[in-house]
Structure 1
Amino acid sequence: HGVLRKGATGKNLEPHWTKTLEDGTKMEGGTLKLGTDRLEKIIAYGTEGGMVNYDDILTDAEINLMARYIQVEPPIPPEFSLKDMKDSWKLLVPVDKRPTKQMNKVNLKNVFAITLRDAGKLALVDGDTHKIWKILDTGYAVHISRLSASGRYVYTVGRDGLTTIIDMFYEEPTTVATVRLGSDARSVDTSKFKGYEDKYLIGGTYWPPQYSIMDGETLEPMKVVSTRGNTVDGDYHPEPRVA
């Protein structure tokens, strides 16, 4: 439903909203208009639109609490600045302390990265032998794993915003740096243009709505760019998520 509950893959869950239809008619709605009883039924039994039922997961008291909670204005989460990123940055192994050549015999062109979602880990699998090569700690619920242009590094980003860089030149894959992008993230990728291979890493966050530029080998934060702005209709958009 979005951090601010204005709607995403799920519907708008603001206490009150107004929108203008194509014919100029104003339409109003919101969780306050639905009321606690109706919201309890939606949470408990789901909807015809595809939302699942939660009556087998939440107690009646918890369903009532949730129904009342979403009738309150959502709090605005804290921002995450360049300084916050730099404070979270951990360079575990400097570039000059890393191997200068591949120290294993694994075919790096045939390695699978498998997300162990709820464990907050990543499994690297040797594609030639189909055996697990190494399981590493990552951010929670890794959303994506990216291979560097050189084929040496694997970058991961968890939905909690934690980004890691894994060096596959070691005898066993080793995490060499980490950094946090924000409180809710989805994707990272490295520069691929000739002459700039792996020089930069870009990461996008759902919250705060921004993207970050980092050093591609160390993850040192370099720049944060907000994506907040106006839509084509001229309306201010406070949450343009970056995926």
Structure 2
Amino acid sequence: MMKRWLVLFALTLSLPLQAAPAADIDSSAAAQLYGQHCQSCHGADRLGGMGPALLPESLERLKPAEISRTIRQGRSATQMAGFASQLSEEQISQLTAYVQSAPATPPRWSEADMRASHRQPVALSSLPAKPQYTANPLNLFVVVEAGDHHVTVLDGERFRPITRFASHYAVHGGPKFSPDGRFVYFSSRDGWVTQYDLYSLQVVADIRVGLNTRNIAVSDDGNWILAGNTLPQTLVLLDAHGLAPVKTIAVRDAAGHPSRVSAVYEAAPRHSFVVALKDVPELWEISYDRHAAPVYPGLVHDYQMGEALAQPGFLTPRVTPLSMVLDDFYFDPSYQHVLGASRSGQAQVISLDARSKVADLPLDGMPHLGSGISFERDGHRIMATPNLKGGQLSFVDMDSWQLIKQVQLPGPGFFLRSHENTPYAWADSMMSAHKDTLSIIDKRSLSVVRQLVLRPGKTTAHVEFTRDGRYALVSVMENPGELIVVDAQTLREVAALPMAKPIGKYNVFNKVNRSEGTSH
């Protein structure tokens, strides 16, 4: 059983997909090709096995040409072989269209399926009390490498890898940490949630909570994980100490209309999770407050689960009706307000206490609030956000909710990062022809003071700072790619590490202490 679990964990491989099937697909012939060449690894129902799920929801980010290339050439560092010698171009096109199309029978994932997938290869009681290495455990970086689906644990002082291990296919949403920084939790697009021990450097537990998962959040007491799914349309509560499933919540509005989950966030001061829905105009707040009960240091026993679930208000969604569907949002420092935006470019400020809109935000285009930062300037708290369409940064006064200034960048970007110990914010333009350019913005003058090109022509983005803010780590999102270490004061490169498309890196201290310059 242990060997089988390790194989399933390590061999999360291969072919992804997007929506919109190609025209003129011969579904019968394509299904036969799938059964002959793909079924043994990806499952007869396309829900995954040794390979990942081949469903439109799970593999939506890949273009048809990328899918065809994977079928033709295979995928390095996995057991996904290439089929160029076995399939014609017409057959490859048929398979590409087939895996992009919805299955004839809607896929299902029950609580029984979830429990059957649960693995806990390491007993929590057997874990060491201290880190098994000399590096500072609070200044580690967890680096997600999408190029070959691995994770590197990096010493944030010496900038040396401590270990590297295989992840599930398409880890996303940013890993989340336990409050003490000991455990890191990952979620993947095809529904896997993994608990990893940063002291002993090993996987502790693994469970598949759905077929397509948006992201996860960890409660501020360290006891609970909430996972948000788009397939099936559920929220799943897990015991954070071993990932045993505790409760599944169907995501529906008062009229019974189901909704996919857009995102799940943790609001620590409120002892609650906040959930954005993709298909209905509602915002949910789900309390996990157990009246300041002490944090249980091990597995949550059944009787404790029962006590928690029986308490009034525990895990009962508190619904805020909205005038629009939120796709992205950001909390103010008090966590009393949510700044939310839709894909249509509308943006609002919503009070979680009053459960109503309190202001419109003057942000057009497509603000990416999830990458926003906030900082103090002239006695005011300022929020800054990039824009996925307009290619500018917007600065908003969080007292008046008024737009202060917009700063034009070389092109649209995705990430904005800073640190409380630096006067600068770093923005990329990775979604434009200037994908290699980082703009350095002075938080005092709200102006660009320098544009930095570290690797001409290479996609350069996602800055994360060391614990003290002295160094900025920058991703070259190519395969092969690099992780570049830059002195945050002089802006000079001091080190570079080869990586396989490092799409994100996350500093333990900054995450658990909610640094004002990083995403939460």
Assess same fold via TM > 0.5.
yes
Match of 1:240 in 2: 260
TM-score normalised according to structure 2 size: 0.32
Quote the offset at 1:83 in angstroms: 1.8
Question: RMSD over aligned Cα, in angstroms?
Answer: 3.3
User: 119, 122, 130: which is aligned to 2:151?
Assistant: 122
Superposition deviation, residue 140 in structure 1: 0.8
What TM-score do you get using the length of structure 1 for normalisation?
0.65
**Distance of aligned partners of 1:240 and 1:126 in 2 relative to their CA distance in 1, 3 Å threshold:** same
In 2, Cα distance between equivalents of 1:154 and 1:69: 32
1:225 positional shift: 1.1
Question: 3-state SS of the aligned residue for 1:92?
Answer: coil
Q: Deviations over 1:103-125 (max 9, x none)?
A: 32221222111212253321111
**Aligned-partner SS, 2:138:** helix
Structure 2 counterpart of 1:236, one-letter code: H
Q: Does 1:174 align with 2:212?
A: no
Shift of 1:216: 0.8
Using the alignment, how far apart are the partners of 1:88 and 1:64 within structure 2? 31
**Match of residue 508 from structure 2:** none
Aligned to 1:185: 213
> Could you tell me which residue of structure 1 aligns to residue 361 of structure 2?
none
Matched, 1:199 2:223: yes
SS at match of 2:194: strand
Higher relative contact order (CA 8 A, sep 6+): 1
User: Structure 2 matches for 1:1-243, cutoff 5 A?
Assistant: 54=65, 59=89, 75-143=104-172, 144-170=174-200, 173-192=201-220, 197-229=221-253, 236-237=257-258, 239-243=259-263
Q: Distance in 2 between matches of 1:158 and 1:105?
A: 30
Among all aligned residue pairs of Structure 1 and Structure 2, give the percentage whose two residues are the same amino acid: 24
Q: 1:68 to 1:123 in 2, by over 3 A?
A: closer
Change (3 A) 1:133 1:83: same
Residues 211 and 118 from structure 1, CA distance in 2 versus in 1: closer, same or farther, beyond 3 angstroms?
A: farther
Matches of 1:166 and 1:130 in 2, distance apart? Answer: 21
DSSP 3-state at the match of 1:205: strand
Structure 2 counterpart SS, 1:87: helix
CA distance in 2, matches of 1:168, 1:85: 25
Unaligned runs of 5+ in 1: 1-9, 15-30, 37-50
Answer whether contact 1:116 1:141 (CA < 8 A) is retained: no
Structure 1 outlier segments of 4+, above 6 Å: 64-70
- CA drift of 1:174 comes to 1.1
- Give deviations 1:197-235, integer Å, cap 9, x for gaps: 2111111122111111111111111111121446xxx68
**Distance in 2 separating the partners of 1:129 and 1:100:** 23
The 1:66/1:160 distance shift into structure 2, 3 A limit, reads: closer
Contact conserved, 2:229 with 2:260, CA < 8 A, in 1? no
Task: Return 53-62 or 139-148, whichever deviates more.
Answer: 53-62
Contact 2:152/2:163 (8 A) holds in 1: yes
Question: Could you give the per-residue CA deviations for residues 159-212 of structure 1, whole angstroms, max 9, x where no partner exists?
Answer: 121111111122xx11111111111113122110xxxx2111111122111111
